[in-house]
Every structure is written in C-alpha cells, then in structure tokens.
C-alpha cells in the first residue's frame, strides 16, 4: 500500500532567495531535461503521460513548464519524447525535442542519456515527466548546488512503499544509495535532480553502462558507489512534490491544486 500525503497550504507565494539571484547573475548556464517518453498505463490513459489533464484544462507538462520557466528559459528546455510524440510536440512547438525511438523497450536511464548528449554546456536540472511540484523547490535545488558546489537530488524524509525510489546518506551527509531496493532508507528520492557541468561526463559514462531497462537512478548510484561522485540531498521541508504513477496520486495532485487556487483567490 503506497503512502499518500495530504497537504495543508498557508503560503504559496513564490520566494526567490538571494543565492538564486547570485546564480542568475553568474556566467553559469542551466538547462532543463524533462523525461516524457513514456505512457501512463496505470492511469488508464492512452496519451503520453505528460499530457494527462490535471486541473483547469492544464496538463502535467503545462504545469511543469509554468513552474520551471520562472527560473530557466524555455530555450534551455529539452523534452525527451517517445510514445505518440507528435501530440506533445504539437502542444509545445517552442521546445527542443529529443526523440527516444526505443521508448517501448528502454527506461529513463537511456532517455536521460540521449538528452545529456545534446546539452552543449552548463549544469542540467532533470526531472521525470510526471512530477507536480511547488516551484520554490527549483530555487532550493539551484541554491544548494551553488552553496555546496555539488550535484543535488530532491528528497522527502518519509516512510516509503515498494514502488518509491528510496535513498540513504553517508555520515558526511552525501547520498550513499538511491534505488527502490535501499534497506532502511531515509526517505524518498522524488525524481527532480541537478547535475553540475563538471559531473556530466561521468554521468554520461555511467548511463551508457547500465541496462536498457534501468531507471536513471541506477546510473547515479553507480557514479556514487563506483566512481566516488558526490550528490547532496535537498529536502522538500513540507513543500509539495508528487509523482503521478497511480490514480490515487492524481487525486492528491488535484486536491493540492484546488487548495492552492482557493488560497490565491482574494477574500
């Protein structure tokens, strides 16, 4: 049985901390990769999963782009597509697309690999195409990557079921393991991550070596365990982030959107 959290929301205003402003003024560049090649069989949906409708006619992808473009421009956004790719491309022709023609027999590791090979320079923030999140989490990830000079993984310290990707940390506070098989985990890895430019060649090498059916977390874990790469966790601290795998997850997200809309309406 999966654990689904219900959230109460007091403040949904966007806060951009000073460290993020520092990043904007630096010469560093950040690209976004959204992994949207799959389809939502468990949602009983015949469209690409990224086009699942959430609220007010917006899709998961619409919502993601709305939040991401507060921090990173659309011309730095790469979308990995596969299943019924034309439907996605028609909705957002302004994006840069990477086609994984082997989407039906590969997993997110190989989709991410294809996208990383297209990014010319700078850090890369990547996420699964089925995650709905509070946009302040993007600022938190960017800030921590700057202040620690390390690649980052968004996490939530909670009890996990079998389906969640879990994580643990070292005594120094870096990620030690990340997979569905982690024993006695700290919590869940939520599918939003940032890899520094200096770590991208090693991530590409690691993704090349994993099996076609592996998730990208396998590549990250191999980087950490076999190559000594350093990733730090970024905790949500109660900010909303939900991956939509099952109908129950979709209900949690729709409830969240209804609550945020109520809060944003002046009394």
* Section 20-47 average pLDDT: 74
Residue 12 lies in a domain: no
Confidence of residue 266 (pLDDT cuts 50, 70, 90): low
pTM, to two decimals: 0.88
- What is the number of domains present in the chain? 1
Q: Is 132 left (phi over 0), alpha (psi -120 to 50) or beta?
A: beta
Rounded distance between C-alpha atoms, residue 246 and residue 227, angstroms: 35
Distance of CA 188 to the CA centre of its chain: 13
pLDDT for the residue 16? 40
* Section 78-85 average pLDDT: 97
Residue 22 lies in a domain: no
Residue 35 lies in a domain: yes
Q: Rounded to whole angstroms, what are the CA distances from 134 to 11, 63, 74, 131, 197?
A: 11, 10, 18, 10, 25
| Structural domain span for residue 215 | 28-264
> Is residue 115's pLDDT more than 80?
yes
Residue 259 lies in a domain: yes
Residue 14 lies in a domain: no
Domain containing 69 — which CATH number? 3.90.550.10
Residue 62 lies in a domain: yes
Rounded distance between C-alpha atoms, residue 122 and residue 133, angstroms: 23
91 or 9: which leads in pLDDT: 91
Residue 13 lies in a domain: no
pLDDT in tens, 123-174: 999 999 999 999 999 999 999 999 999 999 999 998 898 889 999 999 999 9
Residue 201 lies in a domain: yes
């Amino acid at each position: 049985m999966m654990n689904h959290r219900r959230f109460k929301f007091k403040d949904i205003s966007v806060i951009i901390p000073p460290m993020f402003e520092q990043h904007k003024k630096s010469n560093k560049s950040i690209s976004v990769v959204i992994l949207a090649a799959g389809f939502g069989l468990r949602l009983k949906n015949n469209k690409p999963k990224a086009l699942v409708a959430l609220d007010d006619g917006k899709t998961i992808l619409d919502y993601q782009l709305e939040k991401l473009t507060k921090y990173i421009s659309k011309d730095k956004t790469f979308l990995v597509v596969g299943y019924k790719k034309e439907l996605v491309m028609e909705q957002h022709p302004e994006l840069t697309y990477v086609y994984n023609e082997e989407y039906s027999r590969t997993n997110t590791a190989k989709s991410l690999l294809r996208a990383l090979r297209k990014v010319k320079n700078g850090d890369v923030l990547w996420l699964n195409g089925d995650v709905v999140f509070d946009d302040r989490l993007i600022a938190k990830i960017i800030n921590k990557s700057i202040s620690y000079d390390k690649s980052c993984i968004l996490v939530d310290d909670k009890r996990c079921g079998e389906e969640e990707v879990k994580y643990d940390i070292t005594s120094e506070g870096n990620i030690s393991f990340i997979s569905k098989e982690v024993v006695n985990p700290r919590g869940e890895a939520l599918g939003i991550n940032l890899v520094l430019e200096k770590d991208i060649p090693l991530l590409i090498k690691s993704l090349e070596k994993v099996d076609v059916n592996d998730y990208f977390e396998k590549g990250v874990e191999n980087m950490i365990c076999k190559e000594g790469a350093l990733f730090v966790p970024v905790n949500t601290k109660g900010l909303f982030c939900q991956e939509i795998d099952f109908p129950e997850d979709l209900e949690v997200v729709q409830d969240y959107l209804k609550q945020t809309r109520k809060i944003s309406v002046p009394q």
